[in-house]
Chain A
Amino acid sequence: MFAGAAREAVFSQPEVVRRVHADFVPVALNVGLLGNPSDDEEGRLYRDINRSNPAQGICVVNSSGKVLAWVVGFDDDKSVLAFFDYAHDRFAEYPDAERPVAAERYLKFPSGRVEDVADIADSGKAPPVIDGHADGENCPAKPLFPRGTVRARVFGRALDEQGQPVADTVRQEHYVEDRFHVSLAMQDSLAKALADARGKRFRIPHNLARLLVSHAYLGQLDVNPLGSPGGQGSLKRSEFWGQELGEGTGASVQIRVEGQSEAAGRNFDRDVGDGRLWQHEVELDWEGLIDVQEGRITRLLLLARGSERLQWGNRDERFSAQADVERLLLGHPIDLACKVRFGLIGEPIADDEAAAEGSPHTGADLDARFPGLGPAQLTQALGPTFVVFHDRVQRDLKLSPDQESALGERLQATIQDVMQFFQSLDGLEPEARERELGSYRGKSQAELAVFLQGTLNDAQLARLRQLELQQQGPFALLARPDLGRELKITPQQRERLMAVVQEMQAEIDALVHEVQSGGNPQDIGPKVMKVRERHEGKLHALLTDAQKRQWKEILGEELDLDD
């Protein structure tokens, strides 16, 4: 919500645009990048900025990357320019890291100042001065994709009573631009459906149809009728059909596409924390063409026409009376019912956006949901065996070049598969998501175990087991019966261990529920880790001294994977 509201209410004002050009160097970053920095000098810059980050906002930093001020909202339109003046004055005083400077923070400028965050001595080191990325090194803010991934751009318009596009192009409920990526796996499923049809009319694979529908709506991200973090949605109808027409451009095959879709979403009945109230219905008729060559989409041209009803409001009665710049975290009221039209145009990504063969990439359609998806996130989401993709683990295992290459390819395929899977969860109820995730986790672990058996030698597999157990901690004593036997865990001990785990699970469930209800994962994630750490200590305390010694031996030499 914040980004959309800031773009509309702040960064569309002509005088703001002029001042940004004249007085600042504008840079936009996903907070996921700030919160998951790499273990290098660039990551150190992100980490320092993130120390004072109020979750999301606009901040001014000096030439050394030191935060001068954060702001999340403004008292009124004039306060935006006043903030620029104020920030500029601070920059004149603290242009670099010569002198320490506290990050000042405003929930609303200038009236809503909150606690400053003091500068850090940075362990006595001067902040890194890096002029850019080395040749061949990719900027972490620029995701790479597997070659052949298709990027589709979306243009959507609300139509007036005469059927003409509404003139306003600032508010996203009137004019929207969007983009998404069609993964290789999704293209494979289309190619298979095309081949299986043998020239007859065929149903477009559901995952591709759903992907199309999930991007054809007006309004901000939060009103996605197929489900947003603060709401629920459903795909009431999705019938997309393809018919091979013959040769398209070059040696490609052209598919004529027709379809109908109905999607509807709304807020949860309970308040998710910010008082949002919304409902959204979108009905569309689709038509268009997709060119396919050797299993890959080479061009996608689709049009959708129909109608949309969208309402966005808030339980807080003051909401409607506030200026747009005051409520950047809540957005502005919307009451829309009109005809709409969408155009989708897609083609393969450019060469400079494709990951080199065999190198890891951040994958298709990472969106904001999976910022910085890498080994640590895979391990958290799918299980301890995925720790094998961590750089430090691979160094510890002393992989051969062939093994490194095999694991690199495997990581690439895994990330692609995980994103595909999470994309398929869009619109599912929380319980169904959990069920699907549990099943996917088990399948992924089993498949990776088979792969590793054929890739690593016995010594490496034994060491990897130790590193997996280090990740699991004493929870492994319950998850792996062989360990319980090895440590001679008594039935009484087992019962007490189970009680601790159940207690922990209850606390974590409550936090997960917060996220599912629209809570900020950035805030809740650390709380989950604290709960886990606390209960890990409790489990360890239930072991006898002899068991503790034996457990330490089983774990082997500790490998620190924390950043």
Chain B
Amino acid sequence: MKIATVAGSVALLLAGIVWAQETTGPSTHDQSPAALQAEIELLKAPRVAWRQIAWKTCLLEALKESRDKKKPVLLWAFIDRPVDDARC
């Protein structure tokens, strides 16, 4: 976890530099893996409203929790893709 946090911080620092240079045409900036990763990470929104709900994907697990906590299960059934980080 510590390593991930440090790497994330470095990535954000690099991203700040990269973002300032950004254009929408072909790239002219540093294309090192760290710089690329930093720029990609910067595109990710840190807090997204719909991600605040931790949808379970296992019905059995949900029903067990329903029995334990005496709460109903809210089931979202959809044709598209799973809910966590996918387009839908």
Residues of chain A touching chain B, judged by Cβ–Cβ distance below 8 Å, are 1-4, 6-8, 11-14, 17, 20-21, 23-32, 34, 42, 45-46, 49, 53, 55-65, 68, 87-88, 90-91, 95-96, 129-133, 139, 141-142, 153-157, 159, 163, 165, 169-170, 172, 175-179, 215, 220-221, 248-249, 256, 285, 287-289, 299, 301-303, 305-307, 339-345, 367-368, 520, 522
Contact = CB atoms under 8 A, between A and B. Distances in A.
A53 B83 CA distance: 19
Interface in B47-88: 48-50, 52-67, 69-83, 85-88
B77 A59 contact: yes
Contact of B72 (A87, A256, A343): A87
B76 A88 contact: no
B17 interface: no
B24 A306 contact: yes
B7 to A, nearest CB: 13
Interface in B25-65: 25-27, 31, 33, 36-37, 39-45, 48-50, 52-65
Nearest to B32: A289
Given A165-B43, A178-B86, A49 B75 contact: yes
A43 B28 CA distance: 55
Contact of B57 (A27, A87, A341): A27
A28 B48 contact: no
B59 A141 contact: yes
Interface of B: 22-27, 31, 33, 36-37, 39-45, 48-50, 52-67, 69-83, 85-88
Interface centre among A25, A53, A345 (most CB of B within 10 A): A25
Nearest to A87: B72
A68 B86 CA distance: 28
26 contacts: A2-B79, A7-B88, A24-B73, A26-B56, A27-B57, A27-B62, A28-B57, A31-B77, A45-B60, A58-B74, A61-B73, A88-B72, A130-B63, A132-B60, A139-B61, A142-B57, A157-B43, A170-B48, A170-B49, A177-B44, A178-B85, A221-B87, A249-B33, A301-B37, A303-B40, A343-B44
Given A59-B77, A131-B60, 16 more contacts: A2-B79, A4-B80, A7-B83, A17-B49, A26-B74, A62-B72, A132-B61, A155-B45, A163-B22, A163-B24, A170-B48, A177-B86, A178-B85, A178-B86, A343-B40, A520-B79
B53 A343 contact: no
A303 B74 CA distance: 37
Given A11-B50, A88-B72, A305-B23, A25 B88 contact: no
A3 B78 contact: yes
Nearest to B49: A12
A289 B76 contact: no
Contact of A17 (B31, B37, B52, B73): B52
A249 to B, nearest CB: 8
Given A4-B87, A178-B87, A220-B88, A21 B53 contact: yes
Contact of A341 (B36, B43, B59): B43
A142 B56 CA distance: 11
A129 to B, nearest CB: 8
Contacts of A91: 71-72
Contact of B45 (A2, A14, A169): A169
A367 B85 CA distance: 13
A344 B36 CA distance: 10
Given A28-B56, A287-B27, A299-B33, A58 B48 contact: no
Contacts of B77: 28-31, 34, 49, 53, 56-59
Nearest to B88: A3
Nearest to B80: A3
B76 to A, nearest CB: 4
A62 B82 contact: no
Contacts of A303: 27, 36, 39-40
Contacts of B72: 23-25, 60-63, 68, 87-88, 90-91
A480 B52 CA distance: 58
A220 to B, nearest CB: 7
Given A7-B50, A132-B60, A156 B43 contact: yes
B36 A95 contact: no
A221 B80 contact: yes
A215 B25 CA distance: 20
A393 B50 CA distance: 45
B50 A301 contact: no
A339 B60 CA distance: 44
